[in-house]
Structure formats: C-alpha cells, structure tokens
C-alpha cells in the first residue's frame, strides 16, 4: 500500500467524487480512479459505493478513513 494512493482515496472521500477531487488537485479523473481501484485490489475490498451523484465510502472505506 503506498501513501499516494491513500492520499488520493482520502481526497476523493472528502470531495465526494472523483471528478471534484481530481480538479482540486489539477490531475485527471482517470488518475484518481486508477489509484483507488489499485488500492481496492491491494486490500481486496471495495472502498466506495459509486453512484450517479458521486461516491460514498463503504464500511471498509470508513474504517480506512478513520
């Protein structure tokens, strides 16, 4: 697990969407999406419920945030 992926995860959780978080960081949405997907693969857990209006941390996502 690397710190950059964790930082991206926390930024997305705080912003509530990949697009908003990536714009705040002046990076592409796909960069943020890939970092979170890689993190989810590493820990074998889904971290966000993705909706049409954004993302909501799962139970595992909330645990990682705290």
Residue 62 binned pLDDT confidence (cut-offs 50, 70, 90) = very high
Contacts 24+ apart (CB under 8 A), 52-57: 53/17, 54/16, 54/17, 54/20, 55/12, 55/13, 55/16, 55/17, 55/18, 56/16, 57/13
At 23-43, the pLDDT tens digits run 999 999 999 999 999 999 999
Report, as an integer, the average pLDDT of 39-64.
97
Domain count, the chain: 1
State which residues form the domain around 59: 3-65
This prediction has a pTM of 0.93
pLDDT confidence of residue 1: 77
Residue 13 binned pLDDT confidence (cut-offs 50, 70, 90) = very high
Residue 14 has pLDDT above 90, yes or no: yes
CATH number, domain containing residue 32: 1.10.10.10
């Amino acid at each position: 697990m690397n710190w950059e992926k964790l930082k991206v995860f926390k930024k997305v959780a705080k912003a509530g969407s990949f697009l908003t978080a990536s714009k705040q960081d002046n990076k592409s949405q796909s960069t943020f999406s890939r970092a979170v997907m890689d993190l989810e693969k590493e820990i074998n857990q889904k971290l966000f419920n993705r909706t049409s209006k954004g993302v909501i941390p799962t139970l595992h996502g909330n645990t990682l945030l705290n």
